[in-house]
Amino acid sequence: MDISKLRETAPFAWTLVPSGGEPRAPVVFYGSRELVEAMDDKVVEQASNVARLPGIVGASMAMPDAHWGYGFPIGGVAAFDPDKGGIVSAGGVGFDISCGIRCLRTNLDGESLPPVAAALADGLFAAIPAGVGEEGELRLSPGEIDDMLVGGARWAVGRGYSSPADLEFVEEQGAMPGAAPGAVSDLAKKRQRGEVGTLGSGNHYLEVQVVERIFDAAAAEAFGLAVGQVVVCIHCGSRGLGHQIGTDYLVSMAKAAERLGTHLPDRELACAPIRSDEGQQYLGAMRAGINCALANRQVLTHLTREAFATVLPGASLETLFDVSHNTCKAERHRVDGRVRELFVHRKGATRAFGPGHPELPDRYREVGQPVIIGGSMGTASYVLCGTAESEARSYSSASHGAGRAMSRHEALRRWQGRALVDQLRGEGIFIRTKSMRGVAEEAPGAYKDVHVVAESTEQAGLAKRVALLKPRICVKG
């Protein structure tokens, strides 16, 4: 990115200098100079296009891990006011609706892992269905699919998949209100019949990690984290159902925009007014997709606990937090001294409520919401907490991962999966996968430096670092 087009308006915050032409909202990029310069020009174009959408409030924003996406940049955040003609955009949520991370803390010390690491890796790989189109043992009837789309993680708990205690630490307490299974196509439901409790492919993973460093002792104590402790992160979303919802509604929204005369700066930004029939239908379908992802991560949590119990009897795995990355949520935010209901799109970005927010569990209310920045299989991940400042800076949003630095095609050209698996094994990291091609596509070097992303997220005031996690086992599709 040509940084001469930007002005640093606050520490680690860069605003695109207006260049005349069509009016738009401000465009803000968060991150260090190094990260912002490394963003491709397509991110500038996409964030600028978002800034031209009807009803946008404040700025179109890109988080420190931002890179090129479909319509919105991945790492894009924007809020819209329904009272001002604000829109909802399927491209602003993404195809992998409610892709997110469930983080589990354990009662295990990292020193207990080496003797059992290979067996635990094998056990998790056998228990967790992973890969393109992979299905699990749980197969749902049409009626059960609808129940799951309404009940989310609560539905899974009711089916015996782990504990009701998990739900306090899941967004929306496990079920997103307003889900409308009737707005989800039969094809989308068919694609999901055997995919609840499966990991998927691409950048999705289940990773066993060890806390290597604590940055904030008070927050770490609230989160139940300590140096040397084993944690587990499960990264996945709504699988085929979410992808089909995105596909279906991009078509219907494009037709709605044409019918309503909505100017689209990019066809990939197909959208509909929040209060239109199309907008309401998409929101109902998207909320059903969120519940699908929450149910999926709940079932995977159950399978993970079973695999640990086989290898490490007495292991306890508690949900630290479950947070989604690809959503549009109705939230109340203070703008120009007045609280307004806004529809906040976060695509490849995480909600990050600060201390005192009423929606946080009591355990975390004093320190802020847990925020998970996932790394890649050979690097590291971070646990952070939301800040009070992020409400004004980013509608309480933060980075969600390292962010890709190159395309999957380029990664395949540079790395071979088998060699990467062997290399990481030499570093004490066990990889289990059905696709060596997928390993190459997700090579650690294909991503930005997660340490720089996490530090920039903190320096920009979006979230504060709490703990550094290093991988020991990674299961991938």
Minimal CA–CA distance to 104: which of 238, 223, 204? 223
Q: Measured between alpha carbons, how far is residue 346 from residues 79, 268, 374 in Å?
A: 9, 16, 16
- Tell me the C-alpha distance between 360 and 380, whole Å: 26
State how far the Cα of 204 lies from the Cα of 128, in Å rounded to an integer: 12
* Tokens encoding 105: 């803390």
Domain for residue 92, yes or no? no
Report whether 376 contacts 65 (CB < 8 A): no
Kindly state the DSSP code that residue 401 receives in the 8-state scheme.
Answer: B
Is 419 within the bounds of a domain? yes
Rg (C-alpha) for the chain, rounded Å, is 21
Closest CA to 308 of 300, 295, 317: 317
User: How far, in Å, CA of 99 to CA of 113, rounded?
Assistant: 28
Half-sphere exposure in the Cβ direction for 175 (13 Å, CA):
17
Q: Which helix (H) or strand (E) holds 380?
A: none
**Number of structural domains in the chain:** 1
Query: Are 401 and 377 contacting, i.e. CB atoms less than 8 angstroms apart?
Result: no
Taking the CA of residue 21 as centre, how many other CA atoms within 13 Å lie in the half-sphere pointing to its CB? 9
Low-confidence residues in the chain, pLDDT < 50: none
Domain that holds residue 313: 3-87+98-476
Look at residue 353 and tell me if it is in a domain: yes
As annotated, the active-site residues are 400
Neighbours of 53 (CB within 10 A): 27
Q: How far apart are CA 184 and CA 289, in angstroms?
A: 9
Please state, as a whole number, how many other Cβ atoms lie within 10 Å of the Cβ of residue 426.
Answer: 8
DSSP-assigned states of every residue in 60-105: EEEEEEEE--SSSPEEEEEEE-GGGT-EEEGGGT-SSTT-EEEEEE
Q: Which two tokens stand for residue 22?
A: 């069509």
SS3 466: strand
Is the distance from CB of 148 to CB of 289 less than 8 angstroms? Answer: no
**Other CB atoms within 10 A of residue 227 CB:** 14
Q: E strand or H helix at 40, and its extent?
A: none
Q: Tokens for 77, please give them.
A: 């955040």
Give the whole-angstrom CA distance, residue 348 versus residue 177: 22
In a domain? residue 93? no
Contact between residue 130 and residue 304 where contact means Cβ atoms under 8 Å apart: no
- Predicted local distance difference test score (pLDDT) of residue 261: 84
Which CATH number do you get for residue 321? 3.90.1860.10
Tokens of 89: 């955009």
Q: What's phi and psi for 249, nearest 5 deg?
A: -85, -20
- pLDDT of the residue at 258: 85
DSSP bridge pairs for 352:
none
**How are beta strands 13-16 and 27-30 bridged, if at all?**
antiparallel
Cross-strand bridge partners of residue 170 = 322
